[in-house]
Structure 1
Amino acid sequence: MTEEHLEQENTSNIEQEPQSQTSTDTSDEEVDFELTVESVIEAVLFASDEPLTAPRLAKIAETVVKQVNEHIKRLNDNYKQNHNAFRIDQIAGGFQMMTLGPFNHWLKKLLRARSDSKLSPAALETLAIIAYKQHVIRADIESIRGVAVGEVIRSLMYKGLVKIVGRAEVLGRPMLYGTTRKFLEAFGLNALKDLPNVEELKKPPA
């Protein structure tokens, strides 16, 4: 795919209204299940990326530790009966939702795919230049890095981190590159103004 095609693709994407990934409507009409202490515990464990102790779960769900243990046992019984791929296990003194061992083969494929999607040092350096210069032409990036960056930019565009934002008003009208909303999400930023100050990056770690 050429940069011209990518420009057309990005232009069409700009014209589309952004869509929310999750629904924020919590009206009673859309709730088709009974909200119980048990469902709250299940939701909290599902969302957590670390083990949660029974006292902590009890505090969150506004119940007592004994009931937490009873609800977890009942949830696990339901998971087993329904042949679900996960269980709530005791890990490091707490509870955590875990997938069952037989699924490890497929989970390893997922982890491998995530590893393949990591950015190389060259890609990170190029992305940093685009993020801080915003908006910048390829020649300026190559001048800073001292190497060709065409393939790196294309890779960043395929990953959705960089997009074509227009053309520079200079000879040849080269394309201008900028970062995307996905870039902000990937690096935990609310806006570009939240990028670390360049001088702060130069300071040695304390």
Structure 2
Amino acid sequence: MEIERLTTLAEAVLFASGDPVETSRLALTLKISEKELIPIMEHLQERYTKTESALQVMRFSKSWQLGTRPEFAFVIREAMEKKRMQPLSNAAMETLTIIAYNQPVSKGFVERIRGIDSSSVVNSLVDKGLLEEAGRIDVPGHPIGYRTTPLFLRVFGISSLDELPDPNARQEDKFTGELDGYSEIETESEPIPPDTEPPEPIPESQEGTA
């Protein structure tokens, strides 16, 4: 049925976005009107309700989002708390410092400075979102280069690399090894953003555009 197809498409868009999707944008993507979108979203919520899914459809004034049901908040907080408790190791901090001040650089460059294999450390920092690949380095062998990410800036409380401490007189408190900023950013992905009004769970039949 057409409603099933449209419901699945809407779910895919919302899931991939992660953030609220404007009603007009979602309707345009599905090639339907904003009024026609409402029963589609209600049908998606019915799917979740029938299967006792942890997910729910959240309706804001002008947008829609997928989130988790309130009764699962405790387990989400527990998972996020465990992630927050994980500090950066000395090896990770050392590797981040080397790359931050010399980027883009290869793993080999890092290893020459540290004197030990650093592949696992670099890969871990990539997994955490603090480093990313930056193409090939123009040196023999053309190894993959690595650089810091926007998340790195947010974690360490700076707006650009120009604000990095003087390498000859670095401030230790800028790079503490605790992922306080990182955990705070992760929390932003929780179902209901703290700086928005609580959404209206579906179904709550309301007429008019969302």
> Structure 1 length as normaliser, TM-score?
0.52
CA-atom RMSD in angstroms? 3.2
Q: Does 1:175 align with 2:119?
A: no
Residues 40 and 61, structure 1, Cα contact 8 Å, conserved in 2: yes
Gaps of 5+ in 1: 1-33, 142-173
Alignment of 1:154-165 (within 5 A): none
| 1:68 alignment partner, one of 37, 45, 48 | 37
Partners of 2:39 and 2:48 lie apart in 1 by 14
Q: Does 1:57 align with 2:48?
A: no
Q: Which one-letter code corresponds to 2:161 in the other structure?
A: L
Rate the CA distance shift 1:70–1:188 in 2: closer, same or farther, 3 A: farther
Q: Quote the residue 1:201 is aligned against.
A: 161
Q: Does 1:79 align with 2:42?
A: no
Helix, strand or coil at the partner of 1:73: helix
Q: Which one-letter code corresponds to 1:128 in the other structure?
A: L
Residue 88 of structure 1: how far off its partner (Å): 0.3
Helix, strand or coil at the partner of 2:67: strand
Partners of 1:124 and 1:180 lie apart in 2 by 8
Q: Quote the residue 1:190 is aligned against.
A: 133
Q: Which one-letter code corresponds to 1:176 in the other structure?
A: D
Q: Does 1:116 align with 2:76?
A: no
Residues 51 and 93, structure 1, Cα contact 8 Å, conserved in 2: no
Q: Quote the residue 1:165 is aligned against.
A: none
Partners of 1:95 and 1:176 lie apart in 2 by 47
Partners of 2:87 and 2:30 lie apart in 1 by 37
Q: Does 1:98 align with 2:67?
A: yes
Q: Structure 1, residues 5-44: CA drift from partner, whole Å, max 9, x if none? A: xxxxxxxxxxxxxxxxxxxxxxxxxxxxx98222110111
Residue 176 of structure 1: how far off its partner (Å): 3.3
Residues 130 and 177, structure 1, Cα contact 8 Å, conserved in 2: no
Q: How many percent of aligned residue pairs carry the same amino acid?
A: 19
Q: Quote the residue 1:163 is aligned against.
A: none
Partners of 1:92 and 1:124 lie apart in 2 by 43
Gaps of 5+ in 2: 135-143, 149-159, 165-210
Q: Does 1:126 align with 2:94?
A: yes
Helix, strand or coil at the partner of 2:132: coil
Residues 52 and 96, structure 1, Cα contact 8 Å, conserved in 2: yes
Residue 130 of structure 1: how far off its partner (Å): 5.0
Q: Which one-letter code corresponds to 1:201 in the other structure?
A: L
Q: Quote the residue 1:5 is aligned against.
A: none
Bigger Cα Rg: 1
Rate the CA distance shift 1:85–1:177 in 2: closer, same or farther, 3 A: closer
